[in-house]
Amino acid sequence: MATQYSIKLAISLISSHFGDLVAKVCECLLRKGSLTLADITRFTELPQAQVKNCLLVLIQHNCVQAFSIQIEGGVGAAPKVITQYTAIFDNILHRMRFPKFLTIVSEELDKECEEILEGLFQHGRLTLEQIILRAVSNQNEGNSTVQDAVRESFVRIVSSHYVERCPASEPFLAPPDEEENPTKKRAKSARLAEEIETLEKRAISAAAPLESERFAVITDTGTDVKSGDRSGSRFLDTAIGEKRKHEALEMDRETMATICEKEVLWRANFEAFIRRLRHKACVANVRARMDDGACTVLNAMLEATRNAESRIKTENSVPLSMDAILAEVMKSEGGRSMTVERVRAALGQLGCRSSPRGAEDSHSVDLRNIIEIAQNDEMESIVLKRYGRDAYRIFRLLSKTGRLVETDKISDITFVDKKEAPKILYNLWKDNYLHMEKLTSQGSKQSDFLLWKVNRSSLWKQILDEMCHAALNLSQRLAYEFEQEHEILQLPREKRVGAQGKRFERIRKVKHLPRQWYHCLPQHSLCGLGAKGPATSVDSSGQEAELAYSVL
């Protein structure tokens, strides 16, 4: 959902991470949609070589997807295939959430997995061989034991679906079937706009690897990435014929492991992280509204089916049988004391839907309802802080009702003075928090009635835009403050005394990051970055505090 200030925030992120040239190309794609290289060059008025380098940087860091599409030629000319580029808006905004993603991996896995993810955040895309070499260079050790440990950690993080194979570099989008029935075409054109896939979504879907290959990883332990020595390859002592078969299979496995290690590119799987954060938000909301039992059951169900969800914004959790729910609940410390009756009661609190599945019923949770309740609470809290208690009661009534309500009726139900109610309603309507309709009564004496309701979809879009605006302002203010205090930050330790020492400590606390990955991001760098090579230039001068984006 790209809004005015969310686009500005995305451009600001790209500018702070990669410089103004890359940001200019990214802004062109965000505002104008999918474009060819020639179109981007024409709109940005940059040399084509610079545009190519900017696109390579954005592709390397998963912010742009290239794709081929067939277009009609001129009069009497055959159709031709062109390459277009589209910006991946969500992936750009995810860059501000990197510290949260690192925290998730650190808590669920271990430090080694966190370092692998940190390298992928820093360089965008890496092969397993590059990940191993990076780990070896950081530890100043190159023995096979260290390399095998990195391979094991890599398998763990891929198995958790936090890292995935990179998409195809340039998928081809087939044109629509020209021989399709015209009646079907008319039916399709009558569908709702949100059901029609855009060109950008088609490109991203076409580039995605097959689900069976997306998290497939083959490694060979005991291999030194520098020498290529496979000391870990072993063969069983069997008969000659069986031994030859085993050797052939072993050679095939080694070949596949070599290809997986040296040629397959990997990247962070943002979908898995966003799904994880979404689940945490649902669990936190249930804990605040219900009790620990319902929270434990919901968390167990989401943990058991996390990798089975096909979409991020799924409306219902994956169905589970009662036995599967009980088995997962018993794994947690709080769930070991829960009886079957208590689990059933918790499922009732969560409003679980049961459906026949095989020999027994399965249960799923309405996640959409939990998210809507959380969104309503957020909107109501904003109204309370901005407009006061009376406006909060009015807004809450209209939000719960979900339909048009007349002014006097609103005043009577909320106990708001009849003279104040129209003023409050008008202020909320003026700021696009309410939708208003005017009706004229038919009769001997005509009079106008004003009806009000909450338009949730447009209001939530506006609130998101306001949040992006706040994040953008805060990040720009922090950047300005750091620039003003640049000389103080460069002071040597012995001169940090008195007033200057206090200024240094103040700015250091604001600038401090819980994770030290952020300064490793390539700043203002276009140094020959190819589609497969890692970032080669690092500049720590463009640090920004994650605090600037915590409001999101």
230 - beta bridge partners?
A: 223
Contacts of 95 (CB under 8 A, 6+ apart): 13, 17
pLDDT exceeds cutoff 50 at 465: yes
- φ/ψ of residue 80, rounded to 5: -130, 155
Q: Do the beta carbons of residue 459 and residue 379 sit within 8 Å?
A: yes
Which segment, 136-145, 352-361, 369-378, is predicted with the most confidence on average?
A: 369-378
Contacts of 529 (CB under 8 A, 6+ apart): 53, 56, 57, 60, 522, 535, 536
Q: How long, in residues, is the chain?
A: 552
Q: Do the beta carbons of residue 206 and residue 67 sit within 8 Å?
A: yes
Q: What is the mean pLDDT of residues 350-369?
A: 77
- Count other C-beta atoms under 10 Å from residue 55's C-beta: 21
Q: What is the mean pLDDT of residues 309-337?
A: 84
Tokens 């060979």 locate to 220
Closest CA to 486 of 507, 517, 515, 502: 507
Least confident of 88-97, 421-430, 478-487: 478-487
Closest CA to 551 of 93, 18, 138: 93
First to last CA, the chain: 14
Distances (CA, A) of 53 to 38, 123, 286: 14, 15, 47
Check residues 316 and 495 and name the one with the higher pLDDT. 316
**Confidence (pTM):** 0.78
Give percent of the chain with pLDDT exceeding 90: 25
In angstroms, rounded to a whole number, what is the distance separating the alpha carbons of residues 194 and 506?
48
What is the pLDDT confidence band of residue 494, given thresholds at 50, 70 and 90? confident
- φ/ψ of residue 235, rounded to 5: -125, 145
Q: Do the beta carbons of residue 355 and residue 319 sit within 8 Å?
A: yes
448 - beta bridge partners?
A: 440
Q: What is the mean pLDDT of residues 235-261?
A: 54
Give percent of the chain with pLDDT exceeding 70: 78
Tokens 């092969």 locate to 127
In angstroms, rounded to a whole number, what is the distance separating the alpha carbons of residues 400 and 453?
10
Contacts of 469 (CB under 8 A, 6+ apart): 5, 8
What is the pLDDT confidence band of residue 187, given thresholds at 50, 70 and 90? very low
Residue 355 DSSP class: E
Q: What is the mean pLDDT of residues 66-90?
A: 84
Structure tokens at 198: 């855009």
- SS3 at position 405: strand
In angstroms, rounded to a whole number, what is the distance separating the alpha carbons of residues 43 and 61?
23
What is the pLDDT confidence band of residue 308, given thresholds at 50, 70 and 90? confident
Q: What is the mean pLDDT of residues 469-475?
A: 89
Give CA torsion, residues 207, 212, 217, 218, to 10 deg. -120
pLDDT the model gives residue 545: 29
pLDDT the model gives residue 191: 45
pLDDT the model gives residue 20: 92
Give the DSSP H/E element, type plus range, for residue 361. Answer: strand 360-364
Q: What is the mean pLDDT of residues 394-412?
A: 89
pLDDT the model gives residue 496: 76
Q: Do the beta carbons of residue 403 and residue 453 sit within 8 Å?
A: yes
pLDDT exceeds cutoff 70 at 511: no
Contacts of 94 (CB under 8 A, 6+ apart): 101, 270, 273, 274
Q: What is the mean pLDDT of residues 333-337?
A: 82
Continuous H helices in 124-198: 128-139, 144-159, 182-189
- Count other C-beta atoms under 10 Å from residue 45's C-beta: 8
Structure tokens at 439: 């009706």
Per-residue burial over 472-501, b if 16 or more Cβ lie within 10 Å, else e, is bebbeebbeebeebeebeeeeeeeeeeeee
Q: What is the mean pLDDT of residues 469-489?
A: 82
**Amino acid type, 181:** N
Cα 442 to chain center, whole Å? 53
Tokens 């970055």 locate to 529
Closest CA to 129 of 270, 259, 267, 269: 259
Least confident of 152-166, 174-188, 260-274, 296-310: 174-188
- Count other C-beta atoms under 10 Å from residue 338's C-beta: 20
In angstroms, rounded to a whole number, what is the distance separating the alpha carbons of residues 540 and 54?
20
pLDDT the model gives residue 539: 32
Q: Do the beta carbons of residue 122 and residue 520 sit within 8 Å?
A: yes
Q: What is the mean pLDDT of residues 160-172?
A: 90
- SS3 at position 305: coil
